[in-house]
Chains A and B, each alone.
Chain A
């Protein structure tokens, strides 16, 4: 339809998909591009799969939700089942390799399906807290919606006050971002 890059990020509450989506669109907006972001929401304050719908473009964006995404990232089994509806033959579908029991639920006709060990790497090499930043790095590497410097400054904008208190945190986040890029580089 339009030339907007469409992105659906889904996970369990607390996995941080909404914050990643927020930082991504903020970065795009800061670049002067058009960005639109809408979270799913329902009656329950907690629980349920959390989905972030993002679109980034050089021109005005159409309807806030879309039929098919360019990239879907699902971080839990429920998220896989919930988001496969947004996948068609042009969609890259990424899920975390720690998600089990979804073999039969993976989308049928994706352009590419890729499992990445983001959670595992976050736990073993970095910190569980930066799991979503790894995911953000992967999303940027696949879609090229913002350049890496812009992404860093968006992180800085969002977490700067924490970075001030603990400069190691900055390094950790930037490392996570880079790791995310490496996980998908050359694979999609």
Chain B
């Protein structure tokens, strides 16, 4: 008999094992989120929205009311719920393509309006579900299906620094951080702070999680972790970027 791993209480056991690829970081981010929900005892209040892209595979992940939206449109759907039901804890879960490309306008405007929602964005440097195309977060020189000769910053720009962008727009009371699946404890702390910020009614909260995509990176476990731990933080600084009561840098 294999040992059943310790699952967060808010996870839905019937839908495990989950549908993400072996080695995918989504499972870790969702574990951190599940534990944060447990510790804050907000399971019955949570409304979970997920995007299209690999994040859509989380649509039945929790024992929480959940809604799959359209590619890029999770932020507005969840905003709509929060405006109609301010007593709910509303979470928008998305990937880097959904948040920084097709849904960037929504992220920017939700932050500008200081919507009392929590957006969690998983950054794995590519579009995973569609087979590994270049994303706003693809690192310079990195090869993808649509940058087969490597991302050329001259014609394709530099990786989007999402939390920094959101922090620059967000109003006082917002919480913005970047964590990584390489440090799940810290990531959980950030997610918990983000949710607490919504509970307190302070303002918008946003956490980016650095994550891996061994399927489309074509990397083994060791290379995947090296990339997450060494390459990604060179462009994406891990830490809290804006917290309520403190001015953003």
Contacts and interface: CB of A to CB of B under 8 A. Distances in A.
Pair from one complex: yes
A44 interface: yes
A101 interface: no
A69 B57 CA distance: 32
B22 A45 contact: no
A147 to B, nearest CB: 35
A93 B109 CA distance: 57
A182 B215 CA distance: 36
A1 interface: no
Contacts of B22: 46
B56 A45 contact: no
19 contacts: A43-B56, A43-B57, A43-B129, A44-B19, A44-B21, A44-B57, A44-B129, A45-B21, A45-B54, A45-B128, A45-B129, A45-B131, A45-B215, A45-B216, A46-B21, A46-B22, A46-B215, A47-B19, A47-B21
Interface of B: 19, 21-22, 54, 56-57, 128-129, 131, 215-216
Interface of A: 43-47
Nearest to A13: B21
Contacts, number: 19
A44 B24 CA distance: 12
B71 to A, nearest CB: 12
Contacts of B56: 43
Nearest to B21: A46
A49 to B, nearest CB: 13
Looking at chain B's contact residues, is the secondary structure mostly helix, strand, loop, or mixed? Answer: loop
- For the complex of A and B, 7 pairs with smallest distance between CB atoms: A46-B21, A45-B215, A45-B21, A44-B19, A46-B215, A47-B19, A43-B129
Nearest to A48: B19
Contacts of A47: 19, 21
A47 B24 CA distance: 13
A45 B56 CA distance: 12
Contacts of A45: 21, 54, 128-129, 131, 215-216
Nearest to B52: A43
A165 B57 CA distance: 41
A45 B22 CA distance: 10
Contacts of A43: 56-57, 129
B124 to A, nearest CB: 12
Nearest to B22: A46
Nearest to B213: A45
Nearest to A45: B215
Contacts of A44: 19, 21, 57, 129
B37 to A, nearest CB: 25
A47 B21 CA distance: 7
B17 to A, nearest CB: 9
Nearest to B215: A45
Contacts of B216: 45
A115 B216 CA distance: 35
Nearest to B54: A45
A43 B22 CA distance: 15
A46 B56 CA distance: 14
